[in-house]
Amino acid sequence: MIKPFAKEYDADTTDAALVESAQKGDRGALEKLIVRHQAWIYNIAMRMVLNPQIAEDVTQEVLIKVLTKLSTFQGRSNFRTWLYRIAANHVIN
């Protein structure tokens, strides 16, 4: 797992702009999205499973889902709302 506090990410760039760039194939934008939200996804998983190792696994699995499903994100909701739903549904299932 990328160390979420090891790198600084471009805080001036919105999630919407990063998603749009990532959907067009910009790997740098995709990396920024992952770095920006990885710790947050881990915290969601940790609150739901109460086990650090399982939460790390869940975080990685959710990030893989995000990578494979990013093209389906249409921007009708906030990006974090979309991420939360993916993370919560993954833990529930």
**Residue 32: inside a domain, yes or no?**
yes
Tokens 């990685």 found at: 60
Q: Which domain holds residue 50?
A: 15-92
How many other C-beta atoms can be found within 10 angstroms of the C-beta atom of residue 78? 11
What is the model's pTM?
A: 0.85
**Residue 25: inside a domain, yes or no?**
yes
- Provide the percentage of residues in the chain whose pLDDT is more than 70: 89
User: For residue 75, what is the domain's CATH number?
Assistant: 1.10.1740.10
d(CA 27, CA 29): 5
**Residue 10: inside a domain, yes or no?**
no
Looking at residue 16, its pLDDT comes to 96
Helix (H/G/I), strand (E/B), else coil: 13: coil
Q: How many domains, in total, are found in the chain? A: 1
28, pLDDT greater than 80 = yes
Please state the rounded mean pLDDT for residues 26-30.
97
**Residue 58: inside a domain, yes or no?**
yes
Tokens 């494979």 found at: 68
How many other C-beta atoms can be found within 10 angstroms of the C-beta atom of residue 83? 22
Are 33 and 22 in contact, with CB atoms under 8 Å apart? Answer: yes
